[in-house]
Amino acid sequence: MIEAELKARVRNPEYVMEKLDQEAEGRDEIYQDTYYDDPSGSLSAQDQELRVRTIHRSDSTRSVLTYKGARIDAESGSKPEHETGVDDAEAVHAMLRGLGYVPVIAFQKRCRHHEFSAHGRCLLASLIHVPEIEGTFLEVETLVCEEKELPAALDAIRSIMGELGIRDKDLTTELYTDAVAARRTPGAGAVPPA
């Protein structure tokens, strides 16, 4: 599957949240993400990601293992994605370390998700706050089976973002991993992890 996704910095989070709440009931989750690479950094060098995510809700906790391939669309940053649930996150962390992978960065994301259908697609719109990064982000995504479906999916996402008051100049492809790493660099105003 390919995750067709656009991400933007949100100038008016309250307005966007109100509009999304009109579409669907929001679901709050806290993600604890740990990204892995081999010691040479070859995954990052090839624009690939290997992540263990633990998802905390008010009434449950679950974990997933995710592999993302290299971007197939530079403008949006959309990537092929493979994800599966895991019963024991600590066991998966141990397996990855045993296979020679090393954790390169870990951080928290606070999310409010809204799932709804629009423009003929099932969409997930998420307001995101990463405590170590200033501001609020909006991610809108949908899944497609083939690369040829990507342009139409991205057009639908752009339409939804426009309806939420997001302009093209608000879009970003900056990765949270890069932004958090930059904040943690000495002299860059590093903030300790939450």
**Over 70: is that where the pLDDT of 191 sits?**
no
Residue 190, in any domain of the structure: no
**Over 60: is that where the pLDDT of 88 sits?**
yes
Residue type at position 147: E
Contact of 78 with 84, CB cutoff 8 Å = no
Residue 95, in any domain of the structure: yes
Contact of 124 with 23, CB cutoff 8 Å = no
- The tally of domains found in the chain comes to 1
Least confident of 16-25, 134-143, 152-161, 182-191: 182-191
Residue 192, in any domain of the structure: no
Residue 93, in any domain of the structure: yes
Q: How far is CA 189 from each of CA 9, 45, 171, 183, rounded to the nearest angstrom?
A: 20, 26, 24, 6
pLDDT of residue 33: 98
Q: For residue 7, what is the domain's CATH number?
A: 2.40.320.10
Least confident of 66-70, 123-127, 157-161, 184-188: 184-188
pLDDT of residue 194: 36
What domain range includes position 44?
2-184
Computed over every residue of the chain, the mean pLDDT equals: 94
Reported as a single tens digit per residue, the pLDDT across 97-109 is 999 999 999 999 9
**Over 80: is that where the pLDDT of 187 sits?**
no
pTM: 0.90
